[in-house]
Amino acid sequence: MAEKQKILIVDDDENIAELVSLYLTKECFDTKIVGDGEAALAAAKSFAPDLILLDLMLPGMDGYRVCRELRSWSQVPVIILSAKGEVFDKVLGLELGADDYMEKPFDSKELVARVKAVLRRSRAVPAPAPEKESSADEVSFKDLTINRSNYSVIFCGKRLDMPPKELELLYFLASTPNHVYTREQLLDSIWGYDYVGDTRTVDVHIKRIREKLGDHDSWKISTIWGVGYRFETL
């Protein structure tokens, strides 16, 4: 029998947390509830969840800080559940490393669908290949090599720490230089047709990639306003 996937629920509202746990338990997930940020970080290590549902308004350490601390040592998927629905709050949550963002109140079926979608994407990341690498999975430009086989990015002779979705997005753009892709096309290609988030996810990941690569005199990721992005060779 397959082992149940584990979901850590971080919310100081016991009623909401218990309700979420009930929804997920019915879908055969194993759940654990904690009510503050410190307990969330501890449980992330001891419980070893496959995904974390994280409220932002927590006593003591808030959800933003939890997400930031978590991303310093773990890539476990995080979905933020919050009553804060402003665009700023959503963008900040995604920039800090969350994989999705849902506003409260939420529909139980949508919550379960998003949990399953994020888990599918996280499971789809292949393990690094220890030996043979296919040249078809590698693209190279001046000072930059992206290898999708072993999930590595070499920039100016040094290996960059880049999460899987950032690497996949960079590889996808760089594998067809100067081709313009819409945000919707990038979502479909990298996150899949069943992704239930919005196109702002693409913008956040592009911003992170640019911060890591900076400006280069031979290539860059260009924004085509009102359309999308392209990997441009100069």
Residues 142, 128: Cα–Cα separation, whole Å: 24
User: What's residue 197's pLDDT?
Assistant: 57
CATH of domain 6-123: 3.40.50.2300
Token reading at 19? 């309700």
User: What's residue 31's pLDDT?
Assistant: 95
- The string of pLDDT tens digits covering residues 8-34 is 999 999 999 999 999 999 999 999 999
Token reading at 64? 């933003």
User: What's residue 2's pLDDT?
Assistant: 57
> What count of other Cβ atoms lies within 10 Å of the Cβ of residue 176?
12
User: What's residue 36's pLDDT?
Assistant: 93
CATH 1.10.10.10, the chain: domain bounds: 135-233
User: What's residue 184's pLDDT?
Assistant: 81
User: What's residue 16's pLDDT?
Assistant: 92
Among 17, 8, 106, which residue's Cα sits nearest to residue 51? 8
Whether the model clears a pTM of 0.85, i.e. scores above it, the answer is: no
> What count of other Cβ atoms lies within 10 Å of the Cβ of residue 107?
9
User: What's residue 4's pLDDT?
Assistant: 85
- What is the CB-side half-sphere exposure of residue 115 using CA atoms within 13 A? 29
CATH T-level assignment (fold) for domain 135-233: Arc Repressor Mutant, subunit A (1.10.10)
User: What's residue 126's pLDDT?
Assistant: 43
How far are the Cα atoms of 122, 146, 170, 198, 231 from residue 193, in angstroms, in the given order? 15, 24, 19, 12, 23
Widest distance between CA atoms in the chain: 56
Residues in the chain where the model's pLDDT stays below 70: 1-2, 122-136, 192-199
Sign of CA dihedral 195, 210, 160, 77: negative
The residue ranges of DSSP E strands in the chain, in sequence order, are: 6-10, 30-34, 51-54, 78-82, 100-103, 138-141, 144-147, 152-155, 158-160, 181-182, 219-224, 228-233
> What count of other Cβ atoms lies within 10 Å of the Cβ of residue 119?
18
Coil, strand or helix: which one is 190? Answer: helix
User: What's residue 130's pLDDT?
Assistant: 39
CATH 3.40.50.2300, the chain: domain bounds: 6-123
